[in-house]
């Protein structure tokens, strides 16, 4: 096999070249291409001309040009090398399987189980249209901005909108994940690795395609997202759940019982009942409700007054009800993490795929989301219910 050449069999200059190539990372996997079996047996002749066999996972791999350019630069930057001949080819199935196993190990466990160090936060709401997806996407981007490694699963089957909000879907065409054998690599945007049901519709236009699956199919899809989509090491995984108390929320409860839950509601007191119900379902499946976000709060007017389009007090009402419910026994108190005002710029950022938390961080809604992300990042993940991997003597 081409990567069986040991360092003793390489000449000095070939070893230097190998070491230089070990500093080139696969941009999707973030690991050295030499470790991933992507560099074959290289050779440097007496005149300093280097032959570098470069194996890509799939034909038309999106990162191909970048990898090839970086390999060429690393080769020409190696002392003793005068010329670079990079021979690009595609891995055969056995090589691809070896690649997949190097990346994620031979087993295919559900990632982010109870022993995982990744903090899992599911975002839910009672009613639709309260801005849950916009907030989840913006929180993900804001957390990535704070230096965290962030993944986002759009599990809102009927209302999948995350690819659009994050600029991964334009004019009816949604960016596709890269498939390497049975491993799926999620597209990354604004520092967030994103997977969405909207990426698995084939050629169908997501703007006019409905997904009408029953519970078992939904469960399998969420399970596949957690098993086959390779996110790598994440600090935080956010899940955008469908509104209400449906099958997906229950599946997430079963697959990720350690998930923490954020509830999004509007200031309208009438919306509180249904928001409380979605949080109670989460508690029934053993998840911990960590906070409530009130969205669509007062819109600032040019004259300085505030228009309370949806009234006031909804967020606080949900917090009070959750803290005084029977199910609160033994739970940490739920907090109101913030109130996000209505903002035309925030809406427009979502419509154009350019989140306001990046493009307009001073916008009042974007600034409120950034403050919520800071609180979440500061909280860290509780250890409750997690095995510490130590055996008592
Ligand atoms: N703070 C805000 N200011 C202005 N517009 C907002 C705000 N939050 C959300 N919106 C807008 O409200 C609409 C609904 O938001 P979004 O799709 O995020 O809701 P949702 O709760 O995820 O809905 P569903 O779950 O039904 O898909 C979008 O057009 C979004 O841009």
What is the 295 CA–ligand 1 centroid distance (Å)? 9
**Domain range spanning residue 169?**
119-379
Query: Does 143 share its domain with 243?
Result: yes
10 Å Cβ neighbour count for 329?
6
* pLDDT tens-place string over residues 170-194: 887 888 888 887 788 899 999 999 9
Atom of ligand 1 minimally distant from the CA of 342: 3
**pLDDT for position 383:** 42
Q: Say whether the ipTM exceeds 0.95.
A: yes
What is the 129 CA–ligand 1 centroid distance (Å)? 5
Atom of ligand 1 minimally distant from the CA of 341: 1
* CATH number of the domain where residue 293 is located: 3.40.50.300
Indicate the number of domains in the chain. Answer: 2
Atom of ligand 1 minimally distant from the CA of 136: 18
What is the 134 CA–ligand 1 centroid distance (Å)? 5
**pLDDT for position 358:** 94
Q: Please report whether residue 388 resides in a domain.
A: no
Q: Is 11 annotated as belonging to a binding site?
A: no
CA distance 34 to 18: 8
Decide whether any atom of ligand 1 lies within 6 Å of the 166 Cβ: no
**pLDDT for position 203:** 63
Query: Does 264 share its domain with 323?
Result: yes
**pLDDT for position 379:** 80
Q: Is 138 annotated as belonging to a binding site?
A: no
Decide whether any atom of ligand 1 lies within 6 Å of the 129 Cβ: yes
Atom of ligand 1 minimally distant from the CA of 296: 1
CA distance 38 to 32: 9
pTM of model > 0.95: no
Q: Please report whether residue 228 resides in a domain.
A: yes
**pLDDT for position 224:** 83
Q: Please report whether residue 367 resides in a domain.
A: yes
Query: Does 67 share its domain with 159?
Result: no
Decide whether any atom of ligand 1 lies within 6 Å of the 128 Cβ: yes
Q: Please report whether residue 325 resides in a domain.
A: yes
What is the 132 CA–ligand 1 centroid distance (Å)? 6
Residues of the chain with pLDDT under 70: 1-9, 60-62, 106-109, 202-218, 245-246, 380-393
Q: Please report whether residue 8 resides in a domain.
A: yes
* CATH number of the domain where residue 77 is located: 3.30.300.130
**pLDDT for position 206:** 56
Domain boundary, last residue among 81, 104, 127: 104
Query: Does 144 share its domain with 59?
Result: no
């Amino acid at each position: 096999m081409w990567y069986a050449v040991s360092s003793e069999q390489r000449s000095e200059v070939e070893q230097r070249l190998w070491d230089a190539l070990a500093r080139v990372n696969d941009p999707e996997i973030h690991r050295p291409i030499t470790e991933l079996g992507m560099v074959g047996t290289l050779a440097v002749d007496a005149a300093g001309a280097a032959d570098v066999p470069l194996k890509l996972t799939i034909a038309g791999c999106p990162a191909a040009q970048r990898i090839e350019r970086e390999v060429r630069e690393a080769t020409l930057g190696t002392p003793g090398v005068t010329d670079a001949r990079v021979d690009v080819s595609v891995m055969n199935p056995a090589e691809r399987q070896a690649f997949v196993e190097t990346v994620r190990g031979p087993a295919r466990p559900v990632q982010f189980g109870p022993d995982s160090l990744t903090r899992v936060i599911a975002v839910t709401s009672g009613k639709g249209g309260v801005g849950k997806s916009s907030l989840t996407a913006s929180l993900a981007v804001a957390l990535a901005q704070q230096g965290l490694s962030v993944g986002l699963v759009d599990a809102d089957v009927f209302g999948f909108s995350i690819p659009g909000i994050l600029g991964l879907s334009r004019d009816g065409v949604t960016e596709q994940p890269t498939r390497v054998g049975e491993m799926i690599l999620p597209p990354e945007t604004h520092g967030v690795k994103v997977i969405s049901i909207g990426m698995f519709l084939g050629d169908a236009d997501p703007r006019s395609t409905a997904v009408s699956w029953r519970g078992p199919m939904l469960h399998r899809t969420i399970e596949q997202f957690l098993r086959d989509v390779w996110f790598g090491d994440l600090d935080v995984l956010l899940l955008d759940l469908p509104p209400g108390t449906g099958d997906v929320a229950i599946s997430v409860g079963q697959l990720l019982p350690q998930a923490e839950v954020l509830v999004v509601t509007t200031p309208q007191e009438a919306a509180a009942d249904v928001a409380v119900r979605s949080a109670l379902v989460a508690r029934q499946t053993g998840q911990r409700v960590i906070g409530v976000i009130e969205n669509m709060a007062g819109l600032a007017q040019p004259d300085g007054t505030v228009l309370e389009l949806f009234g006031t007090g909804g967020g606080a009402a949900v917090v009070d009800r959750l803290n005084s419910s029977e199910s609160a026994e033994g739970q940490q108190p739920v907090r109101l993490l913030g109130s996000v005002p209505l903002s035309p710029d925030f809406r427009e950022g979502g419509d154009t795929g350019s989140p306001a938390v990046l493009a307009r961080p001073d916008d009042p809604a974007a600034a409120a989301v950034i403050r919520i992300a800071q609180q979440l990042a500061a909280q860290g993940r509780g250890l409750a219910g997690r095995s510490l991997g130590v055996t008592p003597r």
